[in-house]
Amino acid sequence: MGEVEVMHSEILQFECKDMKYMAEKDVYTSQSYAEHMPGEESSQSTDHKKINDLREKGYMQYGCEHYRRRCRIRAPCCNEIFDCHHCHNEAKNDMNIDQKHRHDIPRHQVKEVICSLCGTEQEVQQNCINCGVCMGKYFCETCKLFDDNQISKQQYHCNGCGICRIGGRENFFHCYKCGCCYSTLLKNSHSCVEGAMHHDCPVCFEYLFESRNDITVMPCGHTIHKSCLKEMREHFQYACPLCSKSVCDMSKVWEKFDMEIAATPMPELYQNKMVWILCNDCGKSCRVQYHVVAQKCLNCKSYNTRQTRGG
H/E/C letters for each residue in the chain?
A: CHHHHHHHHHHHHHHHHHHCCCCHHHHCCCHHHHHCCCCHHHHHHHHHHHHHHHHHCCCCCCECCCCECCEEEECCCCCCEECCHHHHHHHHCCCCCCHHHCCCCCHHHCCEEEECCCCCEEECCCECCCCCCECCCEEECCCCEEECCHHHHCCEEECCCCEEECCCHHHEEEECCCCEEEEHHHCCCCCCCCCCCCCECCCCCCEHHHCCCCEEECCCCCEEEHHHHHHHHHCCCCECCCCCCECCCCHHHHHHHHHHHHCCCCCHHHCCCEEEEEECCCCCEEEEECCCCCCCCCCCCCCCEEEEEEC
pLDDT tens, position by position, 12-38: 333 333 333 333 334 333 343 334 455
pLDDT tens, position by position, 42-86: 666 777 777 788 889 999 999 999 999 999 999 999 999 999 999
Average confidence score pLDDT of the chain: 85
Residue-level pLDDT at 71? 97
pLDDT > 90: percent of the chain: 72
Which CATH number applies to 251-310? 2.20.28.10
Q: What is the dihedral of CA 44, 46, 52, 55, to 10 degrees?
A: -100
Nearest-angstrom CA–CA distance, 192 and 245: 15
Confidence of residue 174 (pLDDT cuts 50, 70, 90): very high
Residue-level pLDDT at 54? 84
Write out the residue limits of the CATH 3.30.40 domain(s) in the chain. Answer: 166-234
Residue-level pLDDT at 39? 56
Supply the pTM of this predicted model: 0.67
Nearest alpha-carbon partner for 216 in 236, 196, 234: 196
Residue-level pLDDT at 275? 94
Residue-level pLDDT at 43? 65
| Buried residues in 170-201 as b, exposed as e (16+ CB within 10 A) | eebbebeebbbbbeeeeeeebeebeebbeeeb
Phi, psi of 30 (to 5 degrees): -60, 150
Nearest-angstrom CA–CA distance, 306 and 280: 7
**Is CATH 3.30.40 what the domain over 166-234 is classified as, yes or no?**
yes
Write out the residue limits of the CATH 2.20.28.10 domain(s) in the chain. Answer: 251-310
Report the Cα 247 to chain-centroid distance in Å: 23
> What is the mean pLDDT of the segment spanning 190-213?
90
pLDDT tens, position by position, 213-249: 889 999 999 999 999 999 999 999 999 999 999 999 9
